[in-house]
Amino acid sequence: MSRIGKKPVAIPSGVTAEMKDGKLSVKGPKGTLSLGLSDLVRYQLEEGQITITPANDTKPARSHWGMQRTMVSNLVEGVTAGFTKVLEITGVGYRASAQGRKLKLQLGYSHDVDIDIPEDIEVKTPDNTTIEITGIDKQKVGQVAAEIRRWRKPEPYKGKGIKYRGEYVFRKEGKKK
């Protein structure tokens, strides 16, 4: 039994959800998100909550149960509060600046790195070494953060690079004479 799957997803006031043509659409103050419904799981839209149950007792149905519940929960949370990832840049001369729909990074290469930001994602740089990525789709926010981090992952000797806020970088000791 899935402990996560058993819990119904609460729909707060100001958010509407409807199932039509194999899709679940959730509309809230920040926007609209939709999710393709799986045949292995049953969805029940009741007043104020969405309940997810496995369609049968097979292993694939039970394995989809908790994941589908989490994905529905992410839809509801995204249209109400949104998601944010914060990246921190460490290193001498490393900096970032948001310019419209582009993010300009200086990461020690011989050239600046320009990254195009998708339409439904917002990127802010409160200071030179912090990047805040916000949006309503958790997957897209995480993907943009991962693509930015990919340009210069934190290295273990000096800790230089781009890391998530709260990420622990395992540090190594340098060579000894």
pLDDT of residue 1: 64
Contacts of 36 (CB under 8 A, 6+ apart): 22, 23
Contacts of 59 (CB under 8 A, 6+ apart): none
First to last CA, the chain: 57
How far apart CA 90 and CA 107 sit, in angstroms, is 10
* Secondary structure class of 168 (helix, strand, coil): coil
Q: What is the pLDDT along the chain (177 residues), one digit of tens a residue?
A: 678 888 999 999 999 999 998 899 999 999 999 999 989 999 999 888 999 999 998 999 988 899 999 999 999 999 999 999 999 999 999 999 999 899 999 999 999 999 999 999 999 999 999 999 999 999 999 999 999 999 999 999 998 999 999 999 999 998 888
pLDDT of residue 47: 83
How far apart CA 82 and CA 25 sit, in angstroms, is 16
Give all domains of the chain, ordered by start, each with its CATH number.
3-80 (3.90.930.12), 83-164 (3.90.930.12)
